[in-house]
């Protein structure tokens, strides 16, 4: 079936049954939407999302044991094309965008707000389906100019509010993309996330420095020092081990 005719597979994750029901009532009449699963636990959500493989995810922020941000971190590269956070607290808005959310619904929301968010989600899913399997360049628009940045030339990336700052040699480009979204376009054999706000090109890695507090600092060839989160330490170690094996072959 052509991508344009496929229904948008949708998952709802919220620990409140009434909240899940309200979203379901709003979504079911839409002929473009197919609700493939509803989940009432952040702990169960990653496994259910990987099983259901949705295009669109409505994700509650505050859930016991495992909140919405934890769910996205656990999903890694399995994050759906469009993620909409649902929250009763507007202070989570910035974190939602940093974590890769397309938009957020602030409870209680009206039908007009929901329709606008859903329309954006449909557009995002359509773009994702049309996207080439392998992306080699990013298009950067700034002050009326357009620049094309090769992914292979990026040294490291850091979160900058609603943008991702791409460090390419002495230059820095701002791209209106979330870190989680950008991570999906980067080659996992070359790039590795070392912090919630930082991704590095492993080819630029000079070494690691053990700090007094037991944490590590990542050192790049150009002298840049970057903090590494303990959450991503094992991921970096496994990537470096793969690189060493490939070099020795």
3-state secondary structure 132-180: CCCCCEEEEEECCEEEEEEHHHCCEEEEECCEEEEEECCEEEEECCCHH
Q: What is d(CA 79, CA 136) in angstroms, rounded to the nearest whole number?
A: 21
pLDDT at 70: 83
Q: What is d(CA 20, CA 11) in angstroms, rounded to the nearest whole number?
A: 10
Q: What is d(CA 98, CA 161) in angstroms, rounded to the nearest whole number?
A: 7
| pLDDT-based confidence at residue 247 (cuts at 50, 70, 90) | very low
Using the predicted structure, report yes or no on whether residue 98 has a pLDDT greater than 70. Answer: no
Using the predicted structure, report yes or no on whether residue 19 has a pLDDT greater than 80. Answer: yes
pLDDT at 135: 67
Using the predicted structure, report yes or no on whether residue 118 has a pLDDT greater than 80. Answer: yes
Count CB neighbours of 147 within 10 A. 13
- Mean pLDDT of all residues belonging to the chain: 86
Query: How much is the average pLDDT of 69-77?
Result: 78
pLDDT at 89: 75
Q: What is the pLDDT of residues 161-218, one digit of tens each?
A: 778 899 999 999 988 778 877 887 788 889 999 998 999 999 999 999 988 888 889 9
> What does pTM read for this prediction?
0.57
More confident of the two residues 144 and 29: 29
Q: Answer yes or no: are the C-beta atoms of 42 and 68 closer than 8 Å.
A: yes
Query: How much is the average pLDDT of 117-121?
Result: 94
DSSP, res 15: S
Q: What is d(CA 239, CA 188) in angstroms, rounded to the nearest whole number?
A: 9
């Amino acid at each position: 079936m052509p991508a344009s005719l496929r229904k948008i597979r949708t998952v709802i994750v919220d620990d409140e049954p009434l909240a899940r029901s309200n979203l379901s009532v709003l979504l079911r009449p839409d002929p473009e939407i197919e609700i493939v699963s509803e989940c009432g636990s952040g702990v169960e959500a990653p496994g259910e999302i990987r099983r259901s493989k949705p295009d669109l995810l409505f994700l509650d922020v505050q859930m016991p044991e495992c909140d919405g941000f934890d769910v996205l971190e656990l999903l890694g590269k399995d994050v759906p094309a469009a993620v909409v956070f649902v929250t009763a607290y507007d202070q989570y808005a910035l974190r939602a965008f940093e974590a890769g959310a397309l938009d957020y619904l602030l409870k209680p929301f009206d039908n007009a707000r929901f329709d606008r968010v859903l329309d954006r989600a449909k557009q995002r899913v359509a773009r994702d389906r049309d996207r080439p399997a392998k992306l080699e360049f990013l298009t950067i628009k700034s002050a009326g100019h357009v620049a094309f940045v090769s992914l292979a030339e990026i040294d490291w990336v850091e979160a900058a509010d609603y943008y991702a700052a791409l460090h390419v040699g002495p230059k820095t480009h701002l791209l209106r993309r979330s870190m989680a979204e950008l991570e999906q376009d980067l080659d996992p054999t070359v790039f590795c996330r070392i912090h919630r706000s930082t991704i590095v090109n492993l080819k630029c890695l000079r070494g690691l420095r053990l700090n007094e507090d037991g944490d590590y600092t990542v050192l790049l060839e150009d002298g840049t020092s970057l903090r590494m989160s303990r959450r991503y330490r094992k991921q970096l170690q496994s990537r470096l081990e793969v690189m060493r094996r490939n070099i020795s072959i």
